[in-house]
Amino acid sequence: MIILKSERDQKAMREAGAIAALVLDEVARFVVPGVTTLDVDEYAAARIRCHGARSAFLGYHKYPCHVCISVNDEVVHGIAGRRRLEFGDLASIDVGVYYHGFVGDTARTVPVGGCDARAQKLMDVTERALYEGIAQAVAGNRVVDVSRAIQRFVEANGFSVVREFVGHGVGRSVHEEPQVPNYDDGKSSPRLRPGMTLAIEPMVNAGGPGVRVLSDGWTVVSEDGLPSAHFEHTVLVGEGPAEILTCCPETPLTRLP
C-alpha cells in the first residue's frame, strides 16, 4: 500500500527534509583528506542532534552508524571505522533523519580534496540522472518513467546503474512502498499521485552494474572494484513538478543545468 501524505504530513516531511539536507551539507564540508570515516560519523551524529533530529539509520536492521559513508568502490551502506580519507577518494554520504515522526533521506557523493576528471564525470552524471528522474516524478506518470529516465541518462553516458538496490517511498518509515528502481525491471509499475513522497536515488557504477556485499554484512561494493556514486533526494509528488524536500536552504542548486 502506498501512503499518501496529508497537508499536515507534507509540512512535517518538509521539515525533516530540510534538516537532512542541512546535515548532508555540513557533513560534505567536513569531508577532507586525513579525517577518518568514524570522525565523519561522529560529526554527523552531533549535527543531527544539534538540529533536534535523530538518525533514521542507526539501529535500522541493526545498522551500526548514524549515516552511511561509502568510499570509492563502495556503493552504499558503508560502515564508519578507522579508514582515513585520502585526497582523490570519492565519499558517498547518505543521511536519514527522523524529525517529528517523519523521515528525510538524502545522499551525495563528494570528492575528498579533489579528484580526477573521470571521477568528476561519474559524479556529475549520477547527479544529473537524479534530476532526470525527478523531472518524471509527476502525477499521472508511473514509477517506471522515473526509472527509465535515470537508466537512459546513465547508460547514454557510458556508466551502469546498480540493480540490487533501489529508491523507495518514504514517510513515517525509511522504506515504504513503492520501490523506485533505477532501471526498467519490466514489472508493473504504480501510477504516481499527488501526496506521494519518494526517495529517488541512482547508484551508478563507473564499470559494470554488478555489486556484492562485504563480510561485514553491510558494505555494498562494485564487483569490478571501480568507483561508484550515489545521489538521492526525497521528493513530494504534486500536479506540477515534484517538490524537492531535501534541498539545502543555504546552498541553492545553482550548479545544475
Interface residues toward ligand MF3, by CB under 6 A: 57, 60-61, 63, 68, 77, 94, 96, 105, 168, 174, 199, 201, 232
Comparing CB distances to ligand MF3, the nearer of 9 and 94 is 94
CB of 155 to ligand MF3, least distance (A): 22
Give the C-alpha separation, 145 to 93, whole Å: 26
57 binds, among ligand MF3, Co ion, none (CB under 5 to 8 A by kind): ligand MF3
Handedness of CA 124, 255, 131, 136 (dihedral sign): negative
Residue linked to cell 564540508: 29
Residues at the site binding Co ion, with contacts judged by CB under 5 A: 94, 105, 107, 199, 201, 232
- What burial class does residue 6 get, using C-beta atoms within 10 Å of its C-beta: 0-12 exposed, 13-18 middle, 19+ buried? exposed
Give the C-alpha separation, 255 to 257, whole Å: 7
43 binds, among ligand MF3, Co ion, none (CB under 5 to 8 A by kind): none
CB of 174 to ligand MF3, least distance (A): 6
Type of residue numbered 193: R
Comparing CB distances to Co ion, the nearer of 94 and 243 is 94
Comparing CB distances to ligand MF3, the nearer of 139 and 174 is 174
Comparing CB distances to ligand MF3, the nearer of 148 and 230 is 230
Give the C-alpha separation, 153 to 138, whole Å: 18
230 binds, among Co ion, ligand MF3, none (CB under 5 to 8 A by kind): none
